Structure 1
């Protein structure tokens, strides 16, 4: 008989035998089977070691041990209502829900003579403190951030939105992983078509396991085209940003074990926003948005334009004659720019794996070697180093990591086309970039440039 249709038996030994058949209780040290006598009846607890609040369980068991055979109710439901003084309690008559709860950390109690199991949800998950995210900081905003525990994350949102329309719809994805996924939205503001589409997609994912957590979910939600690198989702680790998006009518997706949330629908303008835009006065916020947008555009077009003008020096006005490369060019400018692009990525990867105590001195050494010595050796020209240094630093003005690499790929495409076909290649590259943004579609099917919520 399949697990879904298996019912709890009145004979406790049959229930214990079935649990031992389905779960590796004898082989796994962390799956605990606790046999006891409650009210003169054989009883058994099943739970996962490390997920249990020991103090709560001790009080619950102390209450149960004091029961006499005369005090034992006729049903497990009556026992849970009258004898167990704890808040989160439920009863299950089928093993499908029981197995799921045991593996989730809920303690399940079987009592001989009862046709259902009592689930006592006194679990606790290992979690770090809700510190401010390292990559998404705000000068004047709150200093808390999402963590890997989904219940803590929903509480951080509930703390900011005390509205009865705020809904947290929990769903389970994956036959083996059984990952908890929550849709957070305002029922009076959300786009119902998008909400129904997401629920439908989630229901079709039940056989898929979220192997890489949030990234797997994103790939299942939207089959992206490999040739368009622009991100389809906005991610944030800030509860205040998530709450603001929910109030605007958007949907926030939380995945258990992930410290960031996905925001839908989104556009290119949403992705380049950050929390500081809202914590400052209107004029300051507008200035920050405009300056960030200009710098973002410059990171794409600065080096290709430099290469284009170096290929056509007669186009440069006399007043800008100083931008011309005066020193000897030993390596073509295109290959210099390409080598520096790869070198910057190499330094980023090295910084991720460098111990924190060594990161500062190694950064200084890398800066000296990549800067002055590389120019003196003849590998690079100083003008190329200057413009690539600006691009490397300016890339961090926008917080989205995926968008940064999407812009990088567009810059490399533009550089290659310019080097091969001069101004015609530059014009074709600009058209490709504009088309990549304009014809990009999000999960809702709407344009990347203009998202309507309702």
Structure 2
């Protein structure tokens, strides 16, 4: 090992890159001091820190020493640099064990071992790349940081002594599960495939349904350390390009350490919602739902390692719709939509309205005289509601963490031990438990989980406002909610569209699940370049003119 091999640090100081075990005490102390002082924010800074510049060394010894410091070549068991002699030249292939396709990599290496020195006399790297690698996805780089980052994504980097460049082979194969039906967006009839945690699989599931050459998927890397792949998906000749540019610009300007929690962190970073409880994007795990929104001119953002994707822009009424409505006849689809709207309304207003009529019985019309507790309880009505709200949330969290075989037992505990006994002991009245159950069902019937949680938070606020101020609290609270939603913007689109601003035609499509051939235009909210869904000669009866 040559102790005289040097490189330049950030301060220009020449420091030897040699293993600490062959250094004398002074050199080892200086080397460890430099190692502990490193605070690189990304791979390029780390390479420049240890090598002096972000280039691929022509000497294999310098390359191995730099890889040892930057990515723990001899420390991490899964970081592999397979060294070989190919055509008389020292060669190394860098990869992460477990993220590459071993069969493809072995086939390529078998072919390269057959090369002779005469085959690589001139421009060895070009000859290997252009003549002797029987593979499709091959690229080249002269930056060591790029080669390291690509290797960490599952690709392979081939280094050749004396070249100063590397060949990048896309030999990735990620551990993933099969596309199963999403748990939240189940349908009675329809496809059973859903998105997985692998970005490439998710894109292919969409392309299978939208075989349009205008379907574009741009990949943007986000995160200095995680280098997370974010896919921006849209149909080029339909979508509003101004909106695409705005979303792309926000993603590219992110200067974050990473996105370990995937799409949720990205949403907070690019939507800038702050403390607003209502979601500005629609999450979906169904490829057919995403394909239909792409055809409407929406923009879809996919994040690697997440089985859900974000659809933008979205409105309050978009979050109230479900795929099941379009899997039934228009009449039954409309019926199901109204039932769902009723459940959402009940989850927001049923409890405050009932408590308002209890506090002010003079407001009850004659037909509703039966409403109100028939007997008194030991706790005030508002305390009963708050305790049960807390209990429902506690049971919901417990259900998430409860193993499936024990879920039935937990349901019996909630229904019998908590609900029934609480009423019999006089702490709660029957109607409080009944209406709370109806409101909880309405919350869980909301297609968007995020919207259901936001509606529940509003219900709590409205309950407290009614308890404190009565009718004024209910009116002011409801008015503030409408103002809060009306001023909410989803990428310069009104959150309450088509109710505010009002559009009679679009509002009709929200309330009614129209037959396919009657829905001829794309939503005007999306500002699409092509707003027609079908040719002008297609009649609503299904026949051509």
Give the TM-score, by structure 1 length: 0.96
Are 2:302 and 1:254 equivalent residues in the alignment? yes
Separation (CA, whole Å) in 2 of partners of 1:189 and 1:144: 26
Secondary structure of the corresponding residue to residue 37 of structure 1: strand
Match of 2:225 in 1: 176
Are 2:329 and 1:281 equivalent residues in the alignment? yes
Match of 1:294 in 2: 342
Are 2:142 and 1:87 equivalent residues in the alignment? no
Are 2:355 and 1:307 equivalent residues in the alignment? yes
Are 2:498 and 1:447 equivalent residues in the alignment? no
Separation (CA, whole Å) in 2 of partners of 1:169 and 1:293: 36
Are 2:482 and 1:409 equivalent residues in the alignment? no
Match of 1:126 in 2: 175
Deviation, structure 1 residue 114: 2.5
Deviation, structure 1 residue 294: 2.1
Are 2:267 and 1:267 equivalent residues in the alignment? no
Deviation, structure 1 residue 207: 4.2
Are 2:369 and 1:321 equivalent residues in the alignment? yes
Deviation, structure 1 residue 20: 2.7
Could you say if the C-alpha distance between residues 391 and 207 of structure 1 is closer, same or farther in structure 2, counting changes exceeding 3 Å? Answer: closer
Equivalent pair of 1:237/1:259 in contact (CA under 8 Å):
yes
Separation (CA, whole Å) in 2 of partners of 1:338 and 1:21: 56
Match of 1:32 in 2: 80
Deviation, structure 1 residue 7: 2.5
Residue in structure 1 matching 2:63, options 8, 15, 29 = 15
Deviation, structure 1 residue 352: 1.1
Separation (CA, whole Å) in 2 of partners of 1:421 and 1:9: 74
Separation (CA, whole Å) in 1 of partners of 2:424 and 2:143: 75
Separation (CA, whole Å) in 2 of partners of 1:9 and 1:329: 80
Equivalent pair of 2:223/2:255 in contact (CA under 8 Å):
yes
Please list, as runs of the form range in 1=range in 2, the aligned pairs for 1:27-106 lying within 5 A after superposition. 27-72=75-120, 74-75=122-123, 76-106=125-155
Deviation, structure 1 residue 318: 3.5
* Higher alpha-carbon deviation: 13-22 or 252-261: 13-22
* Higher alpha-carbon deviation: 206-215 or 93-102: 206-215
Could you say if the C-alpha distance between residues 366 and 449 of structure 1 is closer, same or farther in structure 2, counting changes exceeding 3 Å? Answer: same
The one of the two structures with greater contact order (alpha-carbon pairs below 8 A, sep at least 6) is: 1
Deviation, structure 1 residue 208: 4.2
Deviation, structure 1 residue 361: 1.7
Could you say if the C-alpha distance between residues 12 and 424 of structure 1 is closer, same or farther in structure 2, counting changes exceeding 3 Å? Answer: same
Separation (CA, whole Å) in 1 of partners of 2:286 and 2:99: 26
Deviation, structure 1 residue 8: 2.7
Could you say if the C-alpha distance between residues 299 and 85 of structure 1 is closer, same or farther in structure 2, counting changes exceeding 3 Å? Answer: same
Residue by residue over 1:139-184, the C-alpha shift from the partner in whole angstroms, topping out at 9 and shown as x without a partner, is 1111001111111111111111111100000100111111100000
Separation (CA, whole Å) in 1 of partners of 2:69 and 2:350: 65
Equivalent pair of 2:156/2:168 in contact (CA under 8 Å):
yes
Could you say if the C-alpha distance between residues 249 and 82 of structure 1 is closer, same or farther in structure 2, counting changes exceeding 3 Å? Answer: same
Residue by residue over 1:168-201, the C-alpha shift from the partner in whole angstroms, topping out at 9 and shown as x without a partner, is 0010011111110000001111111111111111
Are 2:477 and 1:429 equivalent residues in the alignment? yes
Are 2:389 and 1:374 equivalent residues in the alignment? no
**Larger of the two Rg values belongs to structure:** 2
Deviation, structure 1 residue 53: 1.3
* Higher alpha-carbon deviation: 260-269 or 19-28: 19-28
Could you say if the C-alpha distance between residues 123 and 73 of structure 1 is closer, same or farther in structure 2, counting changes exceeding 3 Å? Answer: farther
Equivalent pair of 1:73/1:79 in contact (CA under 8 Å):
no
Deviation, structure 1 residue 69: 1.3
Which 5+ residue runs of structure 2 have no aligned equivalent? 1-7, 9-44, 498-523, 528-545
Separation (CA, whole Å) in 1 of partners of 2:195 and 2:259: 20
Match of 2:242 in 1: 193
Separation (CA, whole Å) in 1 of partners of 2:461 and 2:100: 54
Separation (CA, whole Å) in 1 of partners of 2:180 and 2:406: 24
Match of 2:209 in 1: 160
Deviation, structure 1 residue 23: 1.8
Secondary structure of the corresponding residue to residue 248 of structure 2: helix
Equivalent pair of 1:98/1:108 in contact (CA under 8 Å):
yes
Number of residue-to-residue matches in the alignment: 452
Deviation, structure 1 residue 401: 1.3
Secondary structure of the corresponding residue to residue 323 of structure 1: coil
Secondary structure of the corresponding residue to residue 526 of structure 2: coil
Give the TM-score, by structure 2 length: 0.80
Equivalent pair of 1:77/1:91 in contact (CA under 8 Å):
no
Match of 2:543 in 1: none
Are 2:163 and 1:114 equivalent residues in the alignment? yes
Deviation, structure 1 residue 211: 3.6
Separation (CA, whole Å) in 1 of partners of 2:277 and 2:57: 55
Separation (CA, whole Å) in 1 of partners of 2:121 and 2:268: 50
Could you say if the C-alpha distance between residues 73 and 344 of structure 1 is closer, same or farther in structure 2, counting changes exceeding 3 Å? Answer: farther
Match of 2:40 in 1: none
Separation (CA, whole Å) in 2 of partners of 1:229 and 1:89: 46
